[in-house]
Structure 1
């Protein structure tokens, strides 16, 4: 596990990787993971995930559920997988802001093993080559550093330690750090996007997907013209109950006619859904500029708030069990709904041209 300092905004670190499948050699040939026994992940498409806060919890759940398909995760201001153990009381006591949080990683490991053995999570062999990028700001008071550190420790038991980067020495509040978008970096306020002089989206994407190309020089306004809006219920079916009406899909021009491009799923945080902030997160989180030049489609699924059962007043992703006991595994309603959206991307693109 390593600590990484703030990089200068003008510096772009490029990894060497063949281009993705949209008119180029397949990225899967270079980015796919092989398990120790030679089991390989499916070649097309390369799938990665990231999230902020409740989105980080959901990204980890999705990753472990489908690690035979997912090559990496970027987790910002999150905590360990299954930290809440299906209880909102445990979630509030041990998994958010409490500096005296006590998390039994051994108990969580037992649940992970049980889920893996029962097929509710992917087998552990698929995790071995996956890459994980973690970030926790020193000014973040909504997710305590103790919780973030426990996530890092848990990650070292699930993934190869040399494939983990942990950034925990930057003065960021509970926000999505960007180079120049959003509000204050030292205050946690809507839309929870911080002008931090730090490209978190770029850093995590470069680590988990090894982007071959520098990011686009297009303006945010120009990139936003490639952002599609679609009705989640049309594609997620019966499991869309706790999702918002609409979601967003960033599609590079190169991917509109060739649907074999790689896919990144970005999960927003609590109070950061479309009802609360519109398309601010989808436009300004920083992913689109990198996606535009790297043949990468970005899916921004959306939750909705609810004052009734299932209770979710802040439109968080389910990381404590409000959608049912299987919320954190392959049988989870939101996890199934998001995978249904992923599988529907070719149709979504076709229907919204």
Structure 2
């Protein structure tokens, strides 16, 4: 089949998925969500790929930084977890590791002991002007403090890349670019490196896709609640062999801000419909996940966030929630827990698939 998405809307189905063998990766807000989802349901995963993302709950690093908790978390997200003024103000990995242990003890996330055998790929472009390398390095420290073996962590900080997922597509943005659609040409498929690190040796990617890329109604997984800031549709790629009954694994690929299929730029709180950026579903179709998944019986799940900017939810760029905008209580945010509306929705999709 081509890169075109099946025009029909189907219900997400169930396949012969190997339990506990799933994985997740993401860029930017999708990377922060990757860490949260990995921690919340570590018993479901064997690994994670973090491209330009910080550690668990880093937006809460300085809770007293503002009179209102919501303001403190937004400021923490921007000035601690994205571009700290000096390295010393980057997230405190030890403190955040302690919070992860406390969250596990409280039953908010899975036991951190599940992380011990996992494999984690972490990447920061040394030209990234959106999420600084000082922050991403703390993600490596965070995972080490929670028991992930050093040899199981692939840490890359030597590529002159901007804020992006990297591909070998010549038509993508220059490697050092820090601008939408945040898909840069660097001569290699980063998605392939992520899956090879997590799962070990894999068959070469298919030259021609034989499986099915389809869209499904994902509202059933978050009840259609506006605060979820999730799109009506999600996407999934299912290899033909899996459709025919072969055992499979699931990889969840989480886009970053401004990368959802229906991203709309907001100006002064209003959607700028006339100037929709032509990004479409490029994260779903051109980042390379589908081709290597096709030859290795891996289902790729692409949940979708969307921009919301109103009196209740301020998420104009369609980012995944890693600072608490979906939480019902600012005093006790739950955006990082198994009960968080986005995490519950994504894990519900994984469960439906069989993983």
- SS of equivalent residue, structure 1 residue 75: strand
The answer (yes or no) to whether the contact 2:20–2:46 under 8 Å persists in 1 is no
User: 1:162 pairs with 142, 151, 154, which one?
Assistant: 151
Structure 2 unaligned residues grouped into runs of 5+: 1-14, 61-69, 264-278, 328-332
Match of 2:44 in 1: 69
1:321 corresponds to which residue? Answer: 324
1:333 aligns with 2:341: yes
- Report the Cα distance in structure 2 between the residues aligned to 1:151 and 1:99, rounded to whole angstroms: 18
| 1:234 pairs with one of 212, 220, 225 | 220
Q: Taking structure 1 as reference, are residues 99 and 203 closer, same or farther at Cα in structure 2, changes over 3 Å only?
A: farther
Q: Which residue of 1 aligns with 2:19?
A: 44
> Which residue of the partner structure matches residue 208 of structure 1?
198
Residues 27-59 of structure 1 show CA distances to partners (whole Å, capped at 9, x for unaligned) of x9xxxxxxxxxxxxxx52521000000000000
Q: 2:307 aligned to 297, 305, 308, which one?
A: 305
- Would the aligned equivalents of 2:29 and 2:256 in 1 still touch at CA under 8 Å? yes
Question: 1:189 aligned to 2:179?
Answer: yes
Give the deviation of 1:297 after TM superposition.
0.3
Q: Secondary structure at the match of 1:290?
A: helix
Alignment of 1:120-131 (within 5 A): 120-131=108-119
Structure 1 residues 213-228: aligned runs within 5 Å: 213-218=203-208, 222=209, 226-228=212-214
Q: Give the number of aligned pairs.
A: 303
Separation (CA, whole Å) in 2 of partners of 1:146 and 1:232: 35
Normalised by the size of structure 2, how large is the TM-score? 0.81
Report what 1:11 is aligned to: none
In the aligned structure 2, how far is the partner of 1:49 from the partner of 1:102?
24
1:132-151 map, 5 Å: 132-151=120-139
Over the aligned positions, Cα root-mean-square deviation in angstroms equals 2.0
Change in 2 beyond 3 A, CA 1:45/1:118: closer
Given that 2:79 and 2:85 are in contact with CA atoms closer than 8 Å, whether structure 1 keeps it comes out as no
**Segment of structure 1 superposing worse, 107-116 or 286-295:** 107-116
| Paired residue secondary structure (1:51) | strand
For 2:353 and 2:44, how far apart are their aligned partners in 1? Answer: 16
Q: Specify the alignment match of 1:152 in structure 2.
A: 140
Matched with 1:250 is 237
